[in-house]
Amino acid sequence: MSDMGSDAGERGPARVLVIDDSNTIRRSAEIFLKQGGYEVLLAEDGFDALSKVNDHAPDIIFCDILMPRLDGYQTCAIIKRNPKFAATPVIMLSSKDGLFDKARGRMVGSQDYLTKPFTKDQLLQAVAAHTAGRTATESPGA
């Protein structure tokens, strides 16, 4: 009855942060992710997101590009500059499917790009792809 189980069992479900100023996008992502068995955190802008990243250390972050106050590129860059979260995958969300947006996202450290509106399958596949190697070895401790 001790902790002889696998490391993945100790970690529990992946913790996913969704940052979007649209309540509709946040809520639909939350529903899809919870149906996929993930723990979900929501933030409505970059400033809200930064405190949640620090407090909850999500395993993966979905970040809208066009937001008031602090846009997605700035938010991603700030997260990636913190050594504690530099390895956390950030996936940009945008209604535009432009090459420039994708390139700019990569420049600030995002791992992927999802065009809105996304489907449940697209969202769950992105989480699965970017958290597949997630083990206790990736969490350096408290």
pLDDT, one tens digit for every residue, the chain (142 residues): 433 333 444 568 999 999 999 999 999 999 999 999 999 999 999 999 999 999 999 999 999 999 999 999 999 999 999 999 999 999 999 988 888 989 999 999 999 999 999 999 999 999 999 998 765 434 333 3
DSSP annotation string for 18-50: EE-S-HHHHHHHHHHHHHTT-EEEEESSHHHHH
Predicted TM-score of the model (pTM): 0.87
In degrees rounded to 5, what are phi and psi of residue 19? -110, 115
Burial status of residue 80 (CB atoms within 10 A of its CB: 0-12, 13-18, 19 or more): middle
In which element (H, E) is residue 104 found? helix 99-107
CA dihedral over 17, 18, 21, 23, signed as positive or negative: negative
User: What single DSSP character describes residue 138?
Assistant: G
Per the rule left: phi > 0, alpha: psi between -120 and 50, beta: everything else, 109 is: left
